[in-house]
Structures are given as C-alpha cells and as structure tokens.
Structure 1
Amino acid sequence: MITKLSRRGFALGALSLAGAGEAIAQTQSDSAVAATPVPPQPPKPVSKTICFVGGYTKHGPPGSTGNGEGIAVFEMARDTGVLTPISTFTDIASPSFITMSKDHRFLYALSEISDFNKDGDGSVTAFAVDRKTGSLKKLNAVSSKGAVPAHLSVHHSGRYVLVANYMGGCVAVLPIKSDGSLGEATDVVHNTGPRQPERAADNPQGNFAISDHSGSHPHMIASDPSGKFVLADDAGLDRVYVWTLNLTTGKLQPAQTPYYDMTPGSAPRHFQFTRSGKILYNLCEQDSKVVVSAFDSATGAISNLQTVSTVTSHFHGSTLAAEILISADGKYVYASNRLGDSLAVFKIGEDNTLTLQDEVWMHADYGRALMFDPSGAFLFCANQRSDAVTSFKVDKETGELAFTQNFTPVGSPTTFAFMDTEV
C-alpha cells in the first residue's frame, strides 16, 4: 500500500531528522571532548620546616671546646619530627647561641670565644637567610664587646641585637643595618655587685654542682613583649637587671628599680614572659628553681609570686637547670635539667603559678636548649655531651611529652632556631 505524504508532513519529518542529526553530532562532539586527555596539574609548592642547630666547635673558650662544625641546617619531617641534614655552615667558631629576626630574613649567631680581637672579645655574626631553602649567607661579624658571650636576642623593635657577655661581665647593644648586617655597639653596660655564694641554700639535697659567682656573668638579655624594657639575668651577681632602651641612640637607661636580687647563689639563667608581658618565669641554674613574678609593664617593677623546683621531691643529686619555654597556648612551662638529664613539665594555673606535673628523661646527656618546632607539635632538646638532638611529641591538651625515638647526631649541640620556608 502506498501512503501519500503531504508537504507539511514531509517538512516535519525533515525537521525531526535534522534534530536527530544535531543530537548525534553533539553526542559525538561531547564524546570527543571527554576523550581528550587532560594534562595533570603540576604539584603545588609546599613549604618546608628548617631547623638550625649551633654548638661548640674546636675553636671555643678554654674548657668549652666541642665536636661541632658550625651551624648545621636540617629539614624537619612535619609528621615525625625527623631531622634530615641539608648543609653545615662551617666558617664560624662555637655558635653556642643563635636567633632569628621576626621575618626570618636574618639569623644572628654569637661566637662563644675570647680571641675575636686584641681586646679579648667574643663576636656576633649576621647572616642573610634564603627563605626558600634555608641556606645562610654571611653578612659580617662584629665584636660582642666582651669575652665569651652566652646569649643574644633581637629587640622587639627589630632595630637592635642585644648580647650578654658571660665572662666579660657586660651587656651590649648592636644596631641592625637596613641590609641585616650589624654595626658597632651603641652601648655597653658593665654590672657590679657583691660576691655571692657558689651554691644556694635551697639546693636539691646532694647537689655538688656549682655556678660561677666570681663576678658579673650575664647569661641572658631580652626585651619584654612590649619592647619598652630590656631585662638581663646575671648568674654571677644573682640579679635581674632592668633597663629601657632609647631606640634613637641605642643607649640603655636603668629603670626606676635598676635590678632585683634573687636568692643568693641561685644563678638566674634564662627567663620567659607570658604573651601579655605581665608574668615573668625566671629559671635559676644553680638551685634548679623557677621563680614566678608579676611584671609591671608600665614601670618594669618585678614582684615575686612563687618559687617552684624543676625536679621532683624524690630527686637527690647534682643538677643544673638550663632552659625554659612556654607553650604557644600559654598552658604549660617546660624546663631542662642538666646532670639529672630530665625535662620538667609544669601546668600553668589560673593565677599563673606553676604545678610540676611530670619529669621526663631526656634520653641523652646534658640537655641544654629546648625549642618547639613552628607548629608546636614537637619539642627538641640539644644534648651537649651526648652529641645528639632528641625530640618529643607534645600532647597539646595534657602537656605530656612522648619520646619519638629519634636521635640526630650533631657535635656538641647547644642551641636551635626554626623557620618555615616560603613557597
């Protein structure tokens, strides 16, 4: 049978066929697009965590020479805390303390020596830091203005490096130039005072260790968080000195109360401020005590609140406290004890007083510096006599420390600095 097709029907049929053709063509086009391989995206650059470690080298002060080679540079695995060596800057003598500028563009290292110049001074070296790799470029070195410097810090303003000369019995102010290098000292202050006993009366039982009280021995210098005041622990005179710093002239001016007497023989060594700047935790080397004080950020006045031991009551024997840190969240304080080879863990109470909640074995000998990595996940300990760095995983909720089983070989380590690289 033959079916007649009208013009209208023919036209509609043609349109249907055309639509079907377009649909098939579109499907084929979509398939072609889907089948076209998409090149993989290049991996996004990831920052790395760099750890700098300094310590004693063969060139050092008498009796303190060591096995280190200079400033060792490591990359830290962020999941495990393992340190992998990258390089070592060797053109420096006994960089036993190092610190960085706030922006991590510069690193400053003292040389704990007494023969930098004919005056018998130590020195401070400035480095430019490659923010992508962590490599160091030496800018210059200047006199620390005293023998055997023990500590240095960058003033809160970022305009000066402050240095404590242990055997020189003085502190110095070094200006930072626009390129990060250092100028000659703008001020040098020598401390004086009566001779103190070798040991404190509140020593742990059986402690035969002594601190040098033959004269002034500044052991740390740093500004308070506001930058208004500069404080120095003098372990020889058992005093905390307080100054203001003129940012224009670089001169130190004694505060209204120029110093505070600590327990005779206690040897105040290192201190830490809370973030608010209103509480000062001061670690005394000889009797292994932490002195908790209120700090008046308007006047610089110090008022003692508590003294607590860094070792438990059952500990007997020789001990010398070395370093003190506050966790980033302000909940816990950590301190290292040499000879007893322990780490003290304190919980900070609502009134800012401390409760010793744990004493952890260092797993090495003569631990000095302590430092958190930038994330606060790990705590590292520089063990001078064991020639090794050990690390601990930090429980941020409880403050507890768990040994990572990681040992990093470094000759006579005493100091750390950390930074995250730029992408």
Structure 2
Amino acid sequence: MSCNISRRAFASTLVAAAGAPALSRRAMADAPAKPRIICYIGGYTQHGPPGGAGNGQGISVFEMNPDTSSLSPLMTYVDIASPSFLVLSADNRHLYALSEINDFNANQEGCVTAFSVNRSSGELTKLNVVRSGGAVPAHLSIHASGKYVMVANYMGGTVGILPIHPDGSLGDPTDVVHNTGPRMPDRASDNPPGNFAISDHSSAHVHMVASDPSGRFVLACDAGLDRVYVWTLDTHAGRLVPAKTPFIAMTPGSAPRHFAFNEKGTMIYILGEQDSKVVAATFNPQTGEIVPQQTVSTVTPHFRGSTLAAGILLSPQGRYLYVSNRLGDSLASFHVNDDGTLNLVDEIWMHADYGRSMMFDPSGNFLFCANQRSDSVTSFKVNAQTGVLDFTWNFTPVGSPTTFAFMNTI
C-alpha cells in the first residue's frame, strides 16, 4: 500500500472532531484571545506498519480543561499516516510528526512531516514531508541546538538527522547511522516470573533518540542490540560522531526502549521493555560515560505473567519517576532519592489497555496516558508532594493513541 502523504500538495486536510461543532478558520480567528491549553494526540491509522494498522484518523487536536483535565475535541488532521510520535519546538512555532510506515519511497522508508503552529489557536499548517532515513520510525526529538530533528527508525535500525530550515520545514537527512551487532536473545534472564512476551532481537531496532540536557551528546536506545549508543553531533555538518565510549551494553534480551534524564543531566534512567526494569545510571556530561548504579523492577514482587514496559517520565520537579507497563496495564511510580536511585512507591491499575506514552500537562498537575488497544486517553491527578496518582475518571476516545504534545496558547 503506498503512502497517501508522499509528494502531494501540502495543504492541511481537516475534519471536525466527532461530537464537536465544526471550527472554521474564521471562527478560530475570532475566538477570545485568552490563553488555553492545546493537546495534540497522534497514533496508528489504518495505514500503519505491517501488523500495526490502527483505528486513528491522524493528529487529533483537543483543548484541555486545566481544572479537571478533561479534553474537548477541536479538529483532526487526517492527511497523515500513523503519526505515532509528535514533538513541538521549544517556542511552539512548529510541530514535527513521524509516520510509522515503510513505504514512503522505493527504499521502504518512513517519513516526517513538518507543521507550522498558530500559537493563538493551535491550528496546524503543513510545511513539507521528508524521508526519515529508515523504515518504520518510532521516535523523534529536536536537538538542543534547535537545528535538527533526530529520528529513531525501528525496523531500519538507523538514526536519521534531518536539518531544520529557517521557516521550520525539514531537509533530507544529513546523516543516517546504521547500528550493527551480534544477535541477542528475545527474552532477558531477569524477566518477571511467567512473562511470555518477547521483544524482537532479529536485528538493530532503534527505539528512541535524544540529546542530553546540555546538548553535547546524542543518545539512542537500540532495543534489538540491547545497547545505548552515545554520539556527539557536529551541528555544522549535521553528522553524528561516536563518543569515546560509543555504547553501553545492557542486560541481554532486556530491549532498552526509552530513557529519561534528570534536569542536571547527571543521571539517566534507561527503561528495558522486555524485562520491565529501570536502570538508574550516572551520566558524565563531559565525556558521555554511562555507569549503572541500580536496577529496579517496574512491577511489584507480587506480579506474575506477561508484561512489556513502554514509557518513562520524570516529574517536573524530578522527585518522582513514572513507567507505563503494557499487558500488565499498570503505572509504576518511583521516588527519586537524593543520590538518584529509585524506590518503588506504588503500582496502580491503568484503567485501560496497553498504555504507551505518558505526558504531563504544562502545569504538571495531571499525567496523561495514551492507551493504544482500548482507544482511549486517561488522566491522573498528581500529588506533587507524595507522587501518588489519583485517577480522574476522564476517558477521551481516540483511535489507537500513542503520543502527546501539549502547549499553552498566547
């Protein structure tokens, strides 16, 4: 099936969200200019990766009630296939969305779409679409310099570096790095008891790429090779250069999926998908060296059965860390100790199925979870003092959701 967004005119295609009044451009322009919270949600559409087709329509746009966390639908951008990860620029002027597909071009690559953002209304305008540098991209981020979008291509096993032009549009990759290494086991030896779930270790599978807080280093989790790679980025040439220690080997079969840094960039928390473990490690901002200090489970000692960890998120104050567990349908909360190590505080029911990405709203008062298989977004009230999550009982219907981006309007 060919990608319906390649090489076509770049006018945005909108549909009014189900159950919401149509919102014309003029009506949006005439709306009161008071600040609002806009939430963008992406996920899998009918045109997705092999075996991954979903129920979504595109990028769904909502307004969030800051008191209750409820989401009111505004519109949906349908002219995009499986936008399973989104990211906003630091100034909220641009949004970048990958398409988790493998047929954008004859080389079986995925693609990334650049949008400009109306910061008063949240409306998106498509700028252009470029290849991602590999098949089935799963994650993207903006380098700390603001000059490049970095893409993790899962099936391609590559990291693509895409230059950002002055108008916010994207150029073709300036560098594509392909990881290689020995075949690793599909399951880790430190699995939770009774875990039949496996992670694909047939080849390199880059699952996340992002810079450290200083922007000096770029790191990538390779869930197929069980490694975390470290590079520097030549911001003039747009090329990755291996660090002195180019990668750290994780537990065989653990499938490192995502990571999170503390604010100072001195601690990194690496999430293993297959064994549902978090590795707390020190990070040297001068050399890029990663030294593991602790490994903790994202499920309680009572848990038995299959689970796969998905998302990892630090609280805005850095005092608590949260992990979503698919299959087990739980959210784990950890207290972050003064030395950066973790204590499991609680593991609670997600109230939905197959939770993927999590994100805080701009205030940090609510944590949102995208629940892919139950076609819903749920939210939890966050106790900033204790880290406890209280379910709000707000369910927002969204087809096969996987990702969020929030912004305050001006």
Residue 233 (str. 1) matches residue 191 (str. 2):
no
SS, match of residue 199 in structure 2: coil
Equivalence map 1:114-193=2 (5 Å): 114-193=102-181
In structure 1, C-alpha distance between the alignment counterparts of 2:156 and 2:302, rounded to whole Å: 38
Structure 1 residue 360, shift from structure 2 partner: 1.1
Residue 97 (str. 1) matches residue 85 (str. 2):
yes
In structure 2, C-alpha distance between the alignment counterparts of 1:104 and 1:275, rounded to whole Å: 21
Q: Which amino acid is 2:267 matched to?
A: I
Equivalence map 1:384-403=2 (5 Å): 384-403=372-391
Number of positions where the alignment pairs a residue of Structure 1 with one of Structure 2: 380
Q: Which amino acid is 2:233 matched to?
A: L
Give the TM-score normalised by the residue count of structure 2.
0.92
Q: Which amino acid is 1:357 matched to?
A: V
Which of residues 195, 198, 207 is equivalent to 1:207? Answer: 195
Which of residues 107, 110, 125 is equivalent to 2:95? Answer: 107
What corresponds to 1:75 in structure 2?
63
In structure 2, C-alpha distance between the alignment counterparts of 1:360 and 1:417, rounded to whole Å: 24
Q: C-alpha offsets along residues 52-89 of structure 1, whole Å, 9 cap, x if unaligned? A: 00000001111000000000000000000000000000
In structure 1, C-alpha distance between the alignment counterparts of 2:88 and 2:307, rounded to whole Å: 30
What corresponds to 1:8 in structure 2?
none
Which of residues 339, 342, 346 is equivalent to 1:358? Answer: 346
In structure 2, C-alpha distance between the alignment counterparts of 1:62 and 1:252, rounded to whole Å: 30
In structure 1, C-alpha distance between the alignment counterparts of 2:48 and 2:190, rounded to whole Å: 33
Residue 407 (str. 1) matches residue 390 (str. 2):
no
In structure 2, C-alpha distance between the alignment counterparts of 1:356 and 1:316, rounded to whole Å: 17
Residue 334 (str. 1) matches residue 322 (str. 2):
yes
SS, match of residue 225 in structure 1: coil
Which of residues 273, 276, 292 is equivalent to 2:280? Answer: 292
Structure 1 runs (4+) deviating above 3 angstroms are none
What corresponds to 2:236 in structure 1?
248
Residue 66 (str. 1) matches residue 54 (str. 2):
yes
Structure 1 residue 145, shift from structure 2 partner: 1.2
Structure 1 residue 45, shift from structure 2 partner: 4.3
What corresponds to 2:360 in structure 1?
372
Residue 86 (str. 1) matches residue 74 (str. 2):
yes
Which segments of 5 or more consecutive residues in structure 1 lack a partner in the other structure?
Answer: 1-42
Q: RMSD of the alignment, in Å?
A: 0.9
What corresponds to 1:312 in structure 2?
300
Q: C-alpha offsets along residues 188-232 of structure 1, whole Å, 9 cap, x if unaligned? A: 000000000000000000000000000100000000000000000
In structure 1, C-alpha distance between the alignment counterparts of 2:259 and 2:91, rounded to whole Å: 23
Does structure 1 conserve the Cα–Cα contact (< 8 Å) formed by 2:101 and 2:136? yes
In structure 1, C-alpha distance between the alignment counterparts of 2:255 and 2:204, rounded to whole Å: 11
Q: C-alpha offsets along residues 367-416 of structure 1, whole Å, 9 cap, x if unaligned? A: 00100000000000000000000000001111000000000000000000
SS, match of residue 276 in structure 1: coil
**Structure with the larger helix share:** 1
Does structure 1 conserve the Cα–Cα contact (< 8 Å) formed by 2:33 and 2:120? no
In structure 1, C-alpha distance between the alignment counterparts of 2:85 and 2:209, rounded to whole Å: 12
Structure 1 residue 142, shift from structure 2 partner: 0.2
Structure 1 residue 47, shift from structure 2 partner: 0.4
What corresponds to 1:217 in structure 2?
205
Equivalence map 1:264-283=2 (5 Å): 264-283=252-271
Structure 1 residue 44, shift from structure 2 partner: 8.7
Q: Which amino acid is 1:313 matched to?
A: P
In structure 2, C-alpha distance between the alignment counterparts of 1:211 and 1:69, rounded to whole Å: 27
In structure 2, C-alpha distance between the alignment counterparts of 1:83 and 1:153, rounded to whole Å: 25
Give the TM-score normalised by the residue count of structure 1.
0.89
Residue 421 (str. 1) matches residue 402 (str. 2):
no
Q: C-alpha offsets along residues 14-50 of structure 1, whole Å, 9 cap, x if unaligned? A: xxxxxxxxxxxxxxxxxxxxxxxxxxxxx99420000
Does structure 1 conserve the Cα–Cα contact (< 8 Å) formed by 2:307 and 2:326? yes
SS, match of residue 369 in structure 1: strand
* Larger Rg, first or second structure (1 or 2): 1
